[in-house]
Amino acid sequence: MLFISIQDLEAAINYWRSQSPAVGEELHLCPEAAALAKPYALMIVQGAQRASMDVLDEAARLAIQKFLNITQAN
């Protein structure tokens, strides 16, 4: 996969949030959702519908790849 859509990013964030809800008074996101939040926000600000997987840092790339593997297995 060379590109990730904003819809896939949103679905992945929601998946990780459902697996590990935000905690604490500050409502900290789990590491996977937190890693995906920045590229998701940037895509919204830029009005982008997809982004290259190359622009994701390692944590975001791992989180989205795990999500895609899980959802494609079902």
- What are the tens digits of pLDDT across the range 51-74? 999 999 999 999 999 999 998 987
What's the pLDDT score for residue 1? Answer: 67
What's the pLDDT score for residue 59? Answer: 96
Position 24 confidence tier, pLDDT thresholds 50, 70, 90? confident
Domain, as residue range, for 14: 3-73
pLDDT tens digits, 36-46: 999 999 999 99
Q: CA–CA separation, 57 vs 61, rounded Å? A: 6
Q: CA–CA separation, 14 vs 19, rounded Å? A: 9
Q: How many domains does the chain have?
A: 1
